[in-house]
Amino acid sequence: MTSLQAAHADGVCLRYPDSLGIYPQVTQENAAAMLIRAISLAQSTPFGWGYIDKPPDGSLFLVFQTPQLQCPPDGIVYQDREQKYYLPCGNNKELEVCEVKLGFVPGVDQFAYRVRRRFRMYKGGHPQLMLIHYSRGQSTTIVPSLNSPARNYPLRPVNEPAIFVLGERQGQKVYPNGVAPPLAASADRGIVQFNMPPNVGAGAGMGGMGGMGAGPLPGNPAAMLAHQNSNMEVLERRAQRERGMSMFLAFRSRLRRSWRWAADEAENISTRTLALTRYRRNHEYMNEVFMHARLTIPVFAGDKKASASPPYSIFKLSDLEENWCAKTAAEVEELKNKAAARKQAADAARDQLRDVPMGGLAISDPVP
């Protein structure tokens, strides 16, 4: 048995690498929207191997189901049986919900109160993408016979590289340093199979999901939905940046090839042909510039007797005398009146200063 097969027995699964945050509740509308948008995200982000073990309340995980492991164990013992039901989501989509209650962590919890819900798109999406959410429910006493560890500890370490689960690079491994180990060390090569069940819908999504930090407080569905949408948009923009960078690199490579082709073609054209082409092109430009002038200006139109009018022909002497001269004279008269008024005020102030007696002031007197 290989190391990955042994880890499968312990409950290792393919998980989305980033944290999806803490959410007290996840509605069916939120789960359906996140699963649809997770399709495009899974095409550009490799999933990593890891465990789900004793998750805190509000934890949310995005898991890719493999044929080897349909539902990964989580270190929680459930006293209730799992219930499965289907909910319509519109546009011929159907959401599958698996819910189990009365869970507890042996040796840690005093009561059985944990609730686990698993969401996946049964129709209209990718059925191997699964959301797992943990929350609190009604508590009850723990059955003593069930109070034993749910899995063997310590868990086996997993050193397998991340892997693309969807898209054109499906099944491609992503090594940390970009270098694959020797073939002899890759005994688990090909252990993962990505088989699509027969009930796969034609769903497609745009955007990402996830986010950092805790979600909003319970009891406010609108705030919860806004917080989840903002977290989705963060990873969506990151995925778009990665796709944009790959498109830019491909475009730059094609551009460089086109430049090389253009240089090769220029070497095969003679100097006389290039000069003739430039001569014709420049005269076409000049013809477009002077075409309008030849049709509107008499000198360019062929009327040799016509002459350009002087620059001051737009003014009339009568208009200047009636408007501009009268206006200028009024402004000058107004300025003279203001100057005379200021001079009169200054003279009056000087006369008042002369009439003030200066003998009544002494050096010792305080100045008010």
Please say whether the dihedral angle defined by the alpha carbons of residues 203, 208, 214 and 219, taken in this order, is positive or negative.
Answer: negative
- Position 189 scores a pLDDT of 43
Distance between CA atoms of residues 196 and 215, nearest Å: 33
Q: Among candidates 307, 312, 287, which has minimal Cα distance to 297?
A: 307
Closest-CA residue to 28 (of 84, 77, 96): 96
Integer Cα distance of 71 and 51 in angstroms? 12
Rg for the chain (alpha carbons), in Å? 42
pLDDT of residue 314: 65
In a structure prediction context, what are the per-residue pLDDT tens digits for the chain, which is 368 residues long?
456 666 666 788 888 888 888 888 888 888 888 888 888 888 888 998 888 899 999 999 999 987 666 778 888 999 999 999 999 887 888 999 999 999 999 988 899 999 999 998 888 888 889 999 999 999 999 988 888 888 888 888 888 888 888 888 888 888 876 555 554 444 444 444 454 444 444 343 333 454 434 445 445 555 666 666 666 666 667 776 776 676 767 766 666 665 555 555 555 567 888 888 888 888 888 887 777 666 655 555 555 555 556 656 666 777 777 777 788 888 999 999 999 999 998 888 877 766 655 554 444 555 55
CB 60 within 8 A of CB 133: yes
Provide the pLDDT for residue 273: 82
What pLDDT shows up at residue 205?
38
Alpha carbons 85 and 367: distance in angstroms, whole number: 98
pLDDT of residue 340: 92
Could you tell me which residues come within 8 angstroms of residue 211 by beta carbon, excluding any fewer than 6 positions away?
Answer: 19, 20, 21, 227, 228, 230, 231, 232, 234, 235
pTM equals 0.51
Q: Tell me how far CA of residue 128 lies from CA of 6, 193, 211, in angstroms.
A: 22, 12, 22
Rounded to an integer, what distance in angstroms lies between the CA atom of residue 48 and that of residue 13? 8
- pLDDT of 219: 53
User: Which pLDDT does position 98 carry in this prediction?
Assistant: 92
Q: What tokens does 52 get?
A: 């789900």
For residue 335, what pLDDT is reported? 93
φ/ψ of residue 324, rounded to 5: -70, -45
Instruction: For residue 48, give both structure tokens.
Output: 């990593």
- Ramachandran category for residue 273: left, alpha or beta (phi over 0 → left; psi -120 to 50 → alpha): alpha
Where are the domains positioned within the chain?
3-179+187-249, 270-308, 309-353
> Which of 102, 93, 135, 90 lies closest to 117, judged by CA?
135
